[in-house]
Amino acid sequence: MSVYEIITNKIIESLEKGVIPWHKPWIGAGIPKNFVTKKPYRGINPFILSLYDFSCEYWLTMKQINALSGRVRKGEKSALVVFWKWINIKEENSSGETAIKEIPFLRYYHVFNIEQTEGIEWKKDLPQPRQIDNLEHCEDIFANMSNKPKIEQNKAKACYLPPADCIYMPAKESFFSAEGYYATLYHELIHSTGHASRLNRPEIVGSVSFGDEPYGKEELVAELGAAFLCGYAQIETAVIENSAAYIQSWLKVLKNDARLVIHAAAKAQRAADYILNRTEIEKNED
């Protein structure tokens, strides 16, 4: 497998999980850097390294880890960093003369995040504090929800964990805007309504793999439901562009099945109604 195929497959894998490598509504670990040189990675590398769930921006090669008397924790896997290496080739011109020509050749090497290592002293570079205000009307949606899931803040990623019935959220200060924070929270909150103790959606309750059709359908429900809640909270104009792009990506994955949108929207509405304590309305409409 070529370097191009390795990197392309990694990006496709990410897109199939609903993660767009070049866009996140939160800052995360910051721009990935080499721990020894402190230089930021360039080109495609920052996007590739940002796909890994680490809270620290520092990466090292195995040679650098060994030089610092460190070691990689058992079971940890490396990431790829690519670079261009110029090589000389001989080439004949139209006159039959041989000339030396430099051409770029794509190479790669393996790196580990410093959080995957032991025996190396390091301190995380904390970002400058950012003020993201609470939006009370947005906060009330979660606060007033009956039978709500647990929520844990300051995590490396946003996700819903069905077995624990728990939502993970990055720190509010790491988001670019308050609207982005609440839109992300609502997306995960819609997922949580599929729990067996709530609306019991098979896509949440059953065994679902990233990128397969049931997962894609559930992601579409979550994004449509989040759009409904954003509309209710009157923040939809701030997030609608991202939502539209996200929904469109899943429609493409799921072959633009027109019936899928109708069914997903119905499930999304039911989920939003549940969060807004409108279950009686939903029952009467059935």
Over its C-alpha atoms, the chain yields an Rg (Å, rounded) of 23
- Strand pairing class (159-161; 166-168): antiparallel
Residues 6+ apart with CB under 8 A from 45: 32, 81, 82
Tell me the HSE value of 15 on the side-chain side, using a 13 A CA sphere: 17
pLDDT at 48: 80
What's the average pLDDT block by block, 10 residues per block, for the chain (286 residues)? 67 62 54 88 78 86 96 94 82 80 82 95 64 78 95 91 94 84 93 94 63 69 84 68 56 56 79 84 38
- The pTM (predicted TM-score) of the whole model is 0.57
Task: Report the DSSP beta bridge partners of residue 127.
Answer: none
Q: What is the pLDDT of residue 232?
A: 83
Pairing of strands 71-72, 58-60: unpaired
State the Cα–Cα distance between residues 197 and 17, nearest whole angstrom. 25
Domain boundaries, the chain: 28-118, 136-285
Q: 3-class DSSP state for residue 40?
A: strand
With contact defined as beta carbons under 8 Å apart, do 200 and 192 qualify?
A: no
- Residue 223 is predicted with a pLDDT of 81
